[in-house]
Structure 1
Amino acid sequence: MKTLITGSSGFVGLALSEHLLAAGEDVIGFDLGPIPAQAQAAFARLPGRFTEHRGDVRDATDLRMVMGRHRPQRVVTLAAITADAERERLAPQAIFEVNVGGVLAAIGASAECGVSRLVHISSGSVYGTTGRHAPLLDEARSALAPEGLYGQSKRSAEDAARRLAQLHGLPLVIGRLGTCFGPWEADTGVRDTLSAPLQLLQVARRGGTAILARDSLRDWLYVRDAARAIGCLLDQPQWRYPLYNLAAGFQWPLSQWCTRLATRFPDFRWRLAAPGETPNIELYADYDRASMALDRLREDCGFVPRFDIDAADHDFHHWLAHVAGPQTTVNP
Structure 2
Amino acid sequence: MAAFVTGAAGFIGLAVTEALLTRGERVIGFDLFPVSEQAKRTFAGLPGRFEQVMGDICDAEGLKVALRQSDANCVLHLAAVTAGASREIADPVGIVRVNIGGAAATLEAAAACGIRRVVHLSSGSVYGSSGRDVDLLTEDTPLRPEQLYGITKQASEAVALRLADLHRLDLSIGRLGTCFGRWEYATRARDTPSVPYQVVQAARSGIAVILPRSHLRDWLYARDAAAAVHELLYARTRRHRVYNLAAGFMWSIADFCARLQQVRSGFEWRFARPGEQANIDYYAPYDRSAMAIERLRGDTAFLPRYNLAEALADYLQWLGPACDPVSRYGGTPS
- Give the TM-score normalised by structure 2: 0.96
What CA deviation, in whole Å up to 9, does each residue of 1:121-150 have, x standing for no partner? 00000000000121000102x110000000
For the 8 Å contact 1:205–1:265, the answer to whether it is kept is no
* Higher-RCO chain (CA-CA 8 Å, sequence separation at least 6): 2
Q: Counterparts of 1:266 and 1:201 in 2: how far apart (Å)?
A: 13
Secondary structure of 1:58's aligned partner: coil
Segments of 5+ residues of structure 2 without an aligned counterpart are 329-334
For the 8 Å contact 1:71–1:114, the answer to whether it is kept is no
Q: Which residue of 2 aligns with 1:71?
A: 71
Deviates more, 1:264-273 or 1:74-83: 264-273
Q: Which residue of 2 aligns with 1:256?
A: 255
For the 8 Å contact 2:124–2:177, the answer to whether it is kept is yes
Q: Which residue of 2 aligns with 1:112?
A: 112
Secondary structure of 1:82's aligned partner: coil
Deviation of 1:278 (Å): 1.1
For the 8 Å contact 2:205–2:325, the answer to whether it is kept is no
Q: Counterparts of 2:44 and 2:160 in 1: how far apart (Å)?
A: 33
Deviates more, 1:119-128 or 1:256-265: 256-265
Q: Which residue of 2 aligns with 1:83?
A: 83
What CA deviation, in whole Å up to 9, does each residue of 1:228-284 have, x standing for no partner? 000001111231101000000000011111112212332221111111111110012
Answering whether residue 32 of structure 2 is matched by residue 36 of structure 1, we say: no
What CA deviation, in whole Å up to 9, does each residue of 1:98-138 have, x standing for no partner? 00100110111111112130000000000000001210001
What CA deviation, in whole Å up to 9, does each residue of 1:65-89 have, x standing for no partner? 1111112111011000000111000
Secondary structure of 1:282's aligned partner: coil
Q: Counterparts of 1:249 and 1:236 in 2: how far apart (Å)?
A: 19
Q: Which residue of 1 aligns with 2:322?
A: 326
Secondary structure of 2:96's aligned partner: helix
Q: Which amino acid aligns with 1:80?
A: A
Alignment of 1:50-69 (within 5 A): 50-69=50-69
After superposing on structure 2, the runs of 4+ consecutive aligned residues of structure 1 that deviate more than 6 Å are none
Q: Counterparts of 1:118 and 1:329 in 2: how far apart (Å)?
A: 36
Deviation of 1:188 (Å): 1.0
Secondary structure of 1:275's aligned partner: coil
Answering whether residue 282 of structure 2 is matched by residue 286 of structure 1, we say: no
Q: Counterparts of 1:328 and 1:60 in 2: how far apart (Å)?
A: 36
Q: Which amino acid aligns with 2:254?
A: S
Q: Counterparts of 2:304 and 2:267 in 1: how far apart (Å)?
A: 29
For the 8 Å contact 1:217–1:288, the answer to whether it is kept is yes
Secondary structure of 1:108's aligned partner: helix
Q: Counterparts of 1:329 and 1:115 in 2: how far apart (Å)?
A: 41
Change (3 A) 1:181 1:330: farther
Q: Counterparts of 1:303 and 1:93 in 2: how far apart (Å)?
A: 36
- Give the TM-score normalised by structure 1: 0.97
Secondary structure of 2:258's aligned partner: helix
Q: Counterparts of 2:40 and 2:24 in 1: how far apart (Å)?
A: 16
Q: Which residue of 2 aligns with 1:190?
A: 189
Q: Which residue of 1 aligns with 2:155?
A: 156
Percent identity reads 50
Q: Which amino acid aligns with 1:15?
A: A
Secondary structure of 2:119's aligned partner: strand
Q: Which residue of 1 aligns with 2:168?
A: 169
For the 8 Å contact 1:246–1:294, the answer to whether it is kept is yes
Q: Which amino acid aligns with 1:184?
A: W
Answering whether residue 133 of structure 2 is matched by residue 133 of structure 1, we say: yes
For the 8 Å contact 1:117–1:171, the answer to whether it is kept is yes
RMSD: 1.2
Secondary structure of 1:53's aligned partner: strand
